[in-house]
Amino acid sequence: MANIRSNEKRAVQEVLDNIQTVDTQVVEELLQNELVDLNKKIIVLDDDPTGVQTVHGISVYTDWSIESLEKGFEEENAMFFILTNSRGFTAAETTKAHTEIAANIVEVAKKLNKDFIVISRGDSTLRGHYPLETEVLKDTIEAASDISYDGEVIIPFFKEGGRYTVDNIHYVQYEEHLVPAGETEFAKDRTFGFSSSHLGDWVEEKTEGAFKAANTTYISIESLRAMDIEKITAQLLQVNDFNKVVVNAVDYVDVEIFVIALIKAMKSGKQFMFRSAAALTKVIGGVSDKALLTKEELIQEETGHGGLILVGSHVKKTTEQLEEMKKSDSIEFIEFDVHLVLEPEKFQEEIERVITTTEKSLQSGKPVTVYTRRERLDLGEGKQEEELKLSVKISDAVTSIVERLNIRPNYIVAKGGITSSDIGTKGLGVKRATVAGQIKPGIPVWVTGEESKFPGIPYIIFPGNVGAVTTLREVVEILS
């Protein structure tokens, strides 16, 4: 194994050039043979709506009621998603939601006599309520069933977003370089910050020493590319006491080889919980590749109105993409001064102004972009929970723009995970959507259900931290 310090930046091409190639056709055949016998319903709990960024033809339910879970379990598809939106929750709200979800899953699984796998889909840049979510799921499922979890598999690899794990260090790609995740802006997140890039150390940091880097099982790129399935399976069979399994990956084939070994271990009786980014779901769900979506595929009902783009995310990449889009003369822009949230009366006036202006612009047939003021609302040290609560008020205000629209836009683009979740569930009133596919790599599109405010509208869920500087503008150009 290379002797790499976890804070070193590395050249992308240099890393990829040093990795052994493998016959992907052989891997694909082996994987299909294992998936045929898996016979477990795969339930993906998505902490924001961006986790469907690798799949298509899959259902997303926006609640976790017994009724919705039964529908998901009874689908022909091996997998369905439940949108929890827990990245926008407090720790207490997250605990409550995951306790309910786990209890309901066990109840439905018993009723329908069906085995299941739970995947906690988290952010590929390591933000979110970890280890809280998977611990609550584990404890609740174990208490309500005869399942006993041996370990937890961690796979934050997400190729479409340039997130790679090499030598157990998780990287975020910035142009031609891989930057250790702990050195990025994401690691400085006020709610979910961290310092470790080595995933064993990250586990130890996030669990406050309850789980040690030394007790973590590491699935190396070398073992994966050597297709040493027997060795990897043996590693998994040794895991116990809910210790962690870190999977290195730089391409989908690495996840595919791992899943072959994983299913073999599960067939031997091992039980695993999963914390992963979006790549694992595509592989274990047996979802085929699909070409990027076109305007013709997406817009079935021409309204003559403009499209609506809502930008809530404040990560640097989103702001850069917004600035690039502002160079277009064909798009209207409305800045929403969300700092007025501290002055309720003025905030209400600002919401009314934004809604009125948005409707006028949409009626003219032009795309309109509503974006929140770019400076972060900073209440100072130790105020993270208060800031999270204010961010919920702001998100509610952005959502109300869609909720109160009297004009059907031609399409809706939402930028940012929490923003897109609230707009989907509250603004559009979606109970169940179908993932149509992706409009650009890592940028999923929902087609809304009949129950929603605008049935059948293409709803583009654009993660805050995905794409090049020009990608947001390009998405609007495709749709316009």
Q: Do domains 10-284 and 295-479 have the same CATH topology?
A: no
Question: Are residues 87 and 128 in contact, defined by beta-carbon separation less than 8 angstroms?
Answer: yes
Q: Which two tokens stand for residue 401?
A: 């723009």
295-479: CATH class: alpha beta
Could you report the per-residue pLDDT of 309-354, keeping only the tens digit for each?
Answer: 999 877 888 899 999 999 998 999 999 999 898 899 999 999 999 9
Between CA 43 and CA 272 the distance in angstroms is 13
Q: Helix axis angle, 91-112 relative to 132-144, nearest 10°?
A: 40
Backbone angles phi, psi at 335, to 5 degrees: -85, 130
Q: Report pLDDT digits (tens) over 254-310.
A: 999 999 999 999 999 999 999 999 999 999 999 999 999 999 999 877 789 999 999
CB-based contacts of 293, cutoff 8 Å, min separation 6: 436, 437, 438, 439, 445
Domain 10-284 class in CATH: alpha beta
Mean pLDDT of the chain: 94
Bigger pLDDT: 229 vs 343: 229
Nearest partner of 226 among 20, 368, 29, judged by Cα: 20
Domain boundaries, the chain: 10-284, 295-479
Query: DSSP secondary structure string, 27-90?
Result: HHHHHHHHHHTT--EEEEEESSGGGGTT--S-EEES---HHHHHHHHHSSSSEEEEE--GGGS-
Q: What is the 3-state secondary structure (H, E, C) of 173-211?
A: EECCEEEEHHHCHHHHCCCCCCCCCEHHHHHHHHCCCCC
The mean pLDDT of 395-421, rounded to a whole number, is 91
The helix (H) or strand (E) run that includes residue 347 is helix 344-363
- Residue type, position 307, single letter: G
Per-residue pLDDT tens digits for 418-466: 788 889 999 999 999 999 999 999 999 999 999 999 999 999 999 888 8
Q: Which residue has the tokens 């998603």?
A: 81
Q: What is the mean pLDDT of residues 84-112?
A: 96
Residue 395 confidence class, pLDDT cut points 50, 70, 90: confident
pLDDT in tens, 120-165: 999 999 999 999 999 999 999 999 999 999 999 999 999 999 999 9
Q: What is the pLDDT of residue 1?
A: 40
Q: What separation in angstroms does the CA of 98 have from each of 25, 120, 207, 379?
A: 38, 10, 18, 29
What's the rounded mean pLDDT across residues 192-217? 97
Nearest to 376 by CA among 339, 341, 348, 321: 339
Read out DSSP for 300-315?
-S--SSPPEEEE---S
Q: What is the mean pLDDT of residues 91-98?
A: 97
Kindly give the interhelix angle for 66-74 and 91-112, rounded to the nearest 10 degrees.
50
For residue 2, pLDDT over 50 is answered with no
Q: What is the pLDDT of residue 3?
A: 56
CB 396 within 8 A of CB 293: no
pLDDT at 190 over 90: no
Binned at pLDDT 50, 70 and 90, residue 186 comes out as: very high
Question: What pLDDT sits at residue 277?
Answer: 97
Stretch 65-85: mean pLDDT = 97
Q: What percent of the chain has pLDDT over 70?
A: 99
Which of 67-81, 344-358, 391-405 shows the lowest mean pLDDT across its residues? 391-405
CA distance 401 to 364: 17
Measured between alpha carbons, how far is 467 from 461 in angstroms, rounded to an integer?
12
**Per-residue pLDDT at 379 exceeds 80:** no
- Are 239 and 194 within 8 A, CB to CB? no
